[in-house]
Structure 1
Amino acid sequence: MYNWIDALADLQNQGEPCVLVTIIEELGSTPRNAGSKMVVSADRLFDTIGGGHLEFKAMQIAREMLASGKQDTHLERFSLGASLGQCCGGATVLLFEPMGQVQAQIAVFGAGHVGRALVPLLASLPCRVRWIDSREAEFPDHIPHGVRKIVSEEPVDEVDDLPAGSYCIVMTHNHQLDLELTAAILKRNDFTWFGLIGSKTKRAKFEHRLRDRGFDPSVVQRMRCPMGIGEVKGKLPVEIAISIAGEIIATYNANFGQHSARAEPIARLLPASRRSQSAKLKASN
């Protein structure tokens, strides 16, 4: 069995999200002491916090966090006898810490010069990338880890398979294909961010054609074209790629790390006797 430290290091190196579960408080008879940890991934469990129903419930909670993409840490108190039916009968508080959560699901349409500069940048971020083009020869021999290469004769059909909340980047070799992809993405209108490579002139032409197709102007306004951070100047593929990656990072970090106002203070999760001890200690100070 992996210990939790080695497992966590390996999962992070592989870019696989997981949850670190730690016993941070114990009262009475418990399977393991405070400080014990385990690591939970989508399909594996490493180390142990004592087994039994407690560990099973902790694994369930951790995997629900992974499935929902939850980023915030989470505290939960368990009464081992009353709620879990374990014979040890004590109480414990567990801390759940998401690690390596994917920040963005990204679809890149186009494997041209800018696409080949952009995708390795995105692959180095906490993202999962679908890289889509009809021309297999345009893809490099080495596809970065975390990137799924999709060779499709009909790239527009791939839009239907994107997860809701995706980041969509359109930069193909064909303006008509760009337009059809744009229409398909805007029709879904459930993306987090959508960028189209091109100038203000290209945007104006696309806006006119999309209006002719009956698209609501408020939906079309969600399209970023030109895309990227304006302060990053340059026309080299890598310069354009850095500009686009910067805007994506700024977008997915906009709300990251903000703690819920409803987060329950740790003291309220501690066993009653420990809360009493903490209160007395504060009073004496």
Structure 2
Amino acid sequence: MFQIYDIASELIDKRESFVLATILHKNGSAPRRRGSKMIIKNDFSIIGTIGGGLFEALTVKLSKEVFGNKRTIIKNLDLSTEGGGSLEIVCGGELKVLMEYVDAENNNIAEIYKQSSNLRKQGINYSIVTKIESKDEILHNNCKWICTETDFYGEESDIVQPVFQKIRENFKEVTMQVFMANNEKYLVEPVLNCETIYLFGAGHVSQKLAEIMKMLDFKVVVLDDRREFANKERFKTADKIIILSAFDDILKHIEINDQSYVVIITRGHAYDKDILAQALETDAKYIGMIGSKTKRSFIYSQLKDEGYTQKELDRVFCPIGLEISAQTPEEIAISIAAELIKIRRCSK
């Protein structure tokens, strides 16, 4: 979803209007989950996906109406009644899809997407609020706001303030949902920018993993004590590169929280042990360390001697990555990325 918002902002900068399709609800075997998004450009080419095949074909067809009327619509797509049977599609499935016309000439909507991009770059969490049903008006693109923990962006409206208040009651736990306010419906979509992967070690595996994780919408931070390895030429997609003098005081340089993924792939056992010990003192969502079972036993034994418990060590994924018999840096990076995706998805 994050990447779609970035692309949307780029299209608006180029004054190119488009239709944004968002899955509000799914039933059956529809392949994409709620919140998945797809951009349909005015030449009917698409960016992103809401499920492929017939679902996307039907959505592109609906976009012609949206481009024509320049307003928001909500449609139910049911493969059992929309031609799926005649195409012998056995998976079935239903989607409720929000179709928004995003007018690049609308200054209010342009500002919303600009602020969205700015907040993303700053790593600030926020929710996008969109009015999706109204009792007395045709919906246009002024009906969109951004709500942060302390501020909001968009047109002033007392009517939508109760929605902001509801979001802020439990800001970091908000999920995609529809709120009611004054008999009108508002779609709330949280954009939590604090999912960060900390790559300790700037070797070949780290270089490949940084590229993959950026495509998966993680903020990527690379840490190493070797400037010749940890640099922008080798890590073009990294959000931040930190050159350490040593690995014994990493928490002076970064803040690891429950949305942090710690990947330890340095060049030596001693470095890995020092980083792992510090990571175990944090609320990191994921801690993974590269290495064999023999290396794991050696480091764990040292940490136990220092007072760490088996329960604490059980948090660590080592050997790191899903078992796919990976050998090359690219294959190892893919196995690690797959494990991180599993942790990200299964913990929600």
Within the alignment, does 1:180 sit opposite 2:285 as a pair? no
What is the match of residue 311 of structure 2? Answer: 218
1:112 maps to 203
After the TM superposition, which parts of structure 1 deviate over 6 Å for at least 4 consecutive aligned residues? Answer: none
Specify the alignment match of 2:107 in structure 1: 2
Task: Give the number of equivalent residue pairs.
Answer: 234
1:22 is matched with 130
Q: Secondary structure at the match of 2:249?
A: helix
Matches of residues 103-252 of structure 1 in structure 2 within 5 Å? Answer: 104-142=195-233, 143-145=235-237, 147-159=239-251, 161-165=254-258, 166-186=260-280, 188-230=281-323, 232-252=324-344
**Does the C-alpha gap of structure 1 residues 96 and 237 become closer, same or farther in structure 2, counting only changes over 3 Å?**
same
Question: Once structures 1 and 2 are overlaid, which stretch shifts more, 101-110 or 56-65?
Answer: 56-65
Separation in 2 of the partners of 1:146 and 1:204? Answer: 32
- Residue type at the aligned position of 2:228: A
Q: How far, CA to CA, are the matches of 2:146 and 2:329 in structure 1?
A: 39
Residue type matched to 1:24 in 2? I
Q: SS at 2:266's partner residue?
A: coil
Point out where structure 2 has 5 or more consecutive residues left out of the alignment.
1-105
Whether contact under 8 Å (1:130, 1:148) holds in the other structure is yes
Aligned to 1:279: none
Shift of 1:183: 1.1
1:108 aligned counterpart, secondary structure? strand
Does 2:162 correspond to 1:45? no
| Structure 2 SS opposite 1:52 | coil
User: In 2, Cα distance between the equivalents of 1:44 and 1:136?
Assistant: 40
After superposition, the CA RMSD in angstroms is 3.2
Q: CA deviation at 1:53?
A: 2.6
* Alpha-carbon displacement from aligned partner over 1:137-173 (angstroms, at most 9, x marks no partner): 1024344456211112133322353231121111112
Residues 104, 252 of structure 1: 8 Å contact kept: no
Shift in Å, 1:92: 3.5
Is residue 2:201 matched to residue 1:97? no
Partner secondary structure for residue 196 of structure 2: strand
Separation in 1, partners of 2:194, 2:341 = 9
2:172 is matched with which residue: 41, 64, 68?
A: 68
Moved more, 15-24 or 207-216: 15-24
Distance in 1 of aligned mates of 2:199 and 2:333 = 12
Query: Is the CA contact 2:293–2:318 (under 8 Å) kept in the aligned structure 1?
Result: yes
CA distance in 1, matches of 2:153, 2:266: 42
Larger relative contact order (CA 8 Å, sep ≥ 6): 1
Q: Which has the higher helix share?
A: 1
